[in-house]
């Protein structure tokens, strides 16, 4: 394995969580609609909610309220703990991995690559979700949006740099689906791969990633090309 590991350009791959590792849109839609229902706002469809996901729970809630005709930040603050509590209670019930992910991770692990998560989701929720879905044991570390002092989160470089420091990874790349992911990787001085199947807020080509994949079947070879 030593030679194969030396031949592969990376020893650490970091993943964003929502929209990159797991399709959490079903669970998040249910929790958002639960919060909205407490103030008699009609439910949104999963297709409506999907583009709201990926920039944090409060952003999703604000976008949900905006889609329902209100921009009341005080109401968003009121509903946020209701949304988070509901999500916490139902975590892992409907968040499948994206197609091809497990096969790609198995192949990378055979090459000696290790894995980590850097997400803007609360750390405790990220850890719980990874545990419920069976991915916790694959991860060297989990950096959440509230892990670092001062609340530093993507697109700041700090969470990516913390991931590298905690794991001792010398050659890292990051996989994500948002401008925050790409910018965080760039700010930390490592390559990024964007997934076109994620919770995109703009065309994937506009994210500025070093590479784009349309399916996890392409991940290993794409990483080789970034050497």
Could you report the per-residue pLDDT of 169-220, keeping only the tens digit for each?
999 999 999 999 999 999 999 999 999 999 988 899 999 999 999 999 999 9
Q: Distance of alpha carbon 136 from its chain centroid, rounded? A: 14
Residue with tokens 């997400």: 119
What tens digit of pLDDT does each residue of 50-70 get? 888 877 788 899 999 999 999
Rounded to whole angstroms, how far apart are CA atoms 11 and 150? 29
Residue 72 annotated as catalytic: no
Burial class of residue 142 in the structure, from the number of CB atoms within 10 Å of its CB (0-12 exposed, 13-18 middle, 19+ buried): buried
What tens digit of pLDDT does each residue of 103-154 get? 999 999 999 999 999 999 889 999 999 999 999 999 999 999 999 999 899 9
Give Cβ neighbours of residue 79 (< 8 Å, ≥ 6 apart).
35, 36, 38, 39, 61, 65
Rounded to whole angstroms, how far apart are CA atoms 76 and 1? 51
CB 209 within 8 A of CB 193: yes
Q: How many CB atoms lie within 10 A of CB 21?
A: 30
Q: Which of 7, 11, 16, 146 is catalytic?
A: 16
Residue 6: pLDDT band with limits 50, 70, 90: low
C-alpha separations of 188 from 18, 50, 158, 163 in Å:
21, 28, 7, 11
Rounded to whole angstroms, how far apart are CA atoms 83 and 61? 8
CB 9 within 8 A of CB 226: yes
**pTM listed for this prediction:** 0.91
Rounded to whole angstroms, how far apart are CA atoms 147 and 114? 20
Coil, helix or strand at residue 177: coil
- Partners of 194 in the beta sheet? 176, 212
Q: What is the pLDDT of residue 3?
A: 44
């Amino acid at each position: 394995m030593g030679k194969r590991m030396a031949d592969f350009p990376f020893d650490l791959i970091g993943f964003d969580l929502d929209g990159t590792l797991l399709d959490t849109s079903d669970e998040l839609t249910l929790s958002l609609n639960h919060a909205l229902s407490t103030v008699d706002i009609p439910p949104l469809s999963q297709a409506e909610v999907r583009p709201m996901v990926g920039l944090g729970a409060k952003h999703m809630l604000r976008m949900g309220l905006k889609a329902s005709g209100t921009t009341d930040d005080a109401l968003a603050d009121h509903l946020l703990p209701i949304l988070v509590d509901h999500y916490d209670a139902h975590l892992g019930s409907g968040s499948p991995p994206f197609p091809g992910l497990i096969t790609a991770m198995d192949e990378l692990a055979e090459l000696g690559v290790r894995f980590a998560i850097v997400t803007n989701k609360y750390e405790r929720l990220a850890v719980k979700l990874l545990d419920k879905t069976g991915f916790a044991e694959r991860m060297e570390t989990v950096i959440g949006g509230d892990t670092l002092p001062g609340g530093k989160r993507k697109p700041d470089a700090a969470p990516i740099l913390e991931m590298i420091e905690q794991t001792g990874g010398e050659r890292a790349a990051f996989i994500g689906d948002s401008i925050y992911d790409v910018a965080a990787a760039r700010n930390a001085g490592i390559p990024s791969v964007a997934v076109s199947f994620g919770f995109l807020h703009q065309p994937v080509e506009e994210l500025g990633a070093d590479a784009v994949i349309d399916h996890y079947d392409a991940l290993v070879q794409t990483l080789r090309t970034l050497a």
